[in-house]
Structure formats: C-alpha cells, structure tokens
Amino acid sequence: MKHIETIEEAIKEFNKINIHKKPRIASTNYPNNVIFKCGCSLGAHRVNDPLNFIIGMQFPVKFVMRCENEYITFFKVKGFFKQTVETYWTCSRKIGLEALNKMGV
C-alpha cells in the first residue's frame, strides 16, 4: 500500500483512476472478515463498517473510501465466494479532498 504525502501525488493517483459517485445500488454488504488496510492509527477497517463513507467507486468493485479517522483509501474487493481486499493507496482526508478540489471533482 502506498502512503500519499502530497496534494500533487494525490492528484496523480486520482488521475490514474476513473472514479464515479456512489450509485444507489452500490453495496458494501461483505462479510465482517473483508478488511481493507488504511493509513490511519487503526491500520485497517471492515469494508462493511457503517462509519466508513464511500467517496467514489471505480466499477465494479473498487472503492475510494473515507474512514472514521479521516483517511481516504483506494482499494479493490476481489473474489466471488471468498472475498479479499487489495489496498492500492491511502492519504489523509485533507490531502485527498484538496486534490479533488484542485481537479474540480
């Protein structure tokens, strides 16, 4: 997992992905053991945790999510019968939101 430290780096990473607003049918209804790594002090969260907020998605199962500790993480849920998570990057909420604002998103 990559830790993003600057707004410019965040812009570069956001430009690599084509995120969309969360559609109504988007679901995080995964088992409790489906966990993504995060840069916050907790280090990981359940994908289905209601305290997480979906900022956007890259279809079909890649999420840009903000955790309860104000970190933004981009990850992919893999698998059909047994799900695992691949975490790509994480950054503070401040860096992530400033990058999105500069991009006009």
Does the CA dihedral 6-20-28-62 come out positive or negative?
Answer: negative
User: Which of 1, 2, 3, 5 lies closest to 95, judged by CA?
Assistant: 5
Domain tally for the chain? 1
So what's the pLDDT on residue 59?
82
For the chain, the first-to-last Cα distance in angstroms comes to 24
Is 90 exceeded by the pLDDT of residue 91?
yes
**Percent of the residues in the chain that have a pLDDT greater than 70, as a whole number:** 99
Instruction: Tell me the mean pLDDT in the region 46-68.
Output: 93
Maximum C-alpha span of the chain: 40
**Domain residue limits at 18:** 2-103
Q: What gap in Å lies between CA 105 and CA 100, rounded to an integer?
A: 5
Quote the CA–CA distance of 13 and 2 in Å, as a whole number. 10
Tens of pLDDT, residues 14-31: 999 988 887 776 778 899
Whole-number average pLDDT of the chain: 93
pTM: 0.91
Q: What percent of the chain has pLDDT over 90?
A: 79
Question: Quick one: pLDDT at residue 83?
Answer: 95
Over residues 35-51, the mean pLDDT reads: 96
- The alpha-helical segments, DSSP class H, found in 1-90 are 7-16
Report, as an integer, the average pLDDT of 28-38. Answer: 94
